[in-house]
Amino acid sequence: MKRIKIKRYLLMLAGVMLLGGCADSAPADTASTDSTATVQTEEVKKEAKAIADIYDEITKSVTLYSPFCWDEEFISNYYGIDVTSLEEYVFSMSEDATSAETIIIMKAKDSASVAGLSDCLQMVVDEKKNEMENYLPEQFEIVAKSSVQTKDNYVWLVISENADAITKIIEDSIS
């Protein structure tokens, strides 16, 4: 009888210890979840970098060739871009007609607009390809390496001999 009682007590003790361990471990998991959530919140905050700031960083990091930022009327009138669908944008082209350099970054208000904006930027690529192909071969090569990119609500196009550096700045800023 005594042995049975001892065994019962030992079993009960073991059970209590197990429960205590689980109980002890629960608070630790909650704490790690909280810290993960904090990191994610900070990361979300990092994603919200304004396009104007992205462009500013680009101009400080890379030498652009006579860049000029075109206004809403221009991009709407000629490229058919619906500016009301944009949350923010920058549409920069070289002022020099012999340079194809272009940096366009757009953030759509709605992801449904991304496809249409992408088509508009593809038109920019095609236009510059056709202009430069039998005219300025070096510029044509630069245009030929470019392509329209999208991520979430962002659409961008970089035509530049410094395209790699510029694209990295954009991607780091929006992801």
Partner 1 sequence: MKKKQLRYNMITAGMMLTLVVSNPTTAYVYASENTALGQSAGTTTNIEISQEASEETTTEEATALADVMEISEEEIDAYFADSVFVGDSIMLGFRNYCMKQKDSFLNDIQFLAAGSFSVTNSLWDVNEKSVHPVYQGKKRQIWESISMMDVKRVFLFFGMNDLNVSGLEGTCEKYQQLISNIKEKSPDVEIHIISMTYTLKGAGKGKLKNNIIREFNVLLQDMAKDNGWGYMDMATPLADENGDLAEKYCSDGYVHQSRAAYDVWSTQIRDYARAQLDGTTEFPIGVPTSEDETVEEASMEETIVEEATTSQEVIKDTPSPRSASVSSAATSECSFEFRHTAGFSALATTTE
Considering the complex, state which of residue 108 and residue 170 has its C-beta at the smaller distance from partner 1: 108
Rounded to the nearest 10 degrees, how much is the dihedral formed by the CA atoms of 109, 110, 116, 118?
70
Residue ranges in contact with partner 1 by CB under 8 A: 68, 70-71, 74, 77-81, 93, 95-98, 120, 123, 126-127, 130-136
Q: Residues 48, 73: contact at Cβ < 8 Å?
A: no
CB of 49 to partner 1, least distance (A): 27
Distance in Å, CB of 127 to partner 1, minimum = 5
Q: Which is nearer to partner 1, 30 or 77 (CB)?
A: 77
Nearer to partner 1, 67 or 170 (CB): 67
Burial (CB < 10 A; 0-12, 13-18, 19+), residue 55, is buried
Query: Are 52 and 24 in contact, with CB atoms under 8 Å apart?
Result: no
Residue 82: other Cβ atoms inside 10 A: 13
Q: Which amino acid appears at position 69 of this protein? A: C
- Residue 35 or 130: the one with the smaller Cβ distance to partner 1 is 130
Least distance between partner 1 and beta carbon 90 (Å): 15
- Least separation in angstroms between CB 84 and partner 1: 15
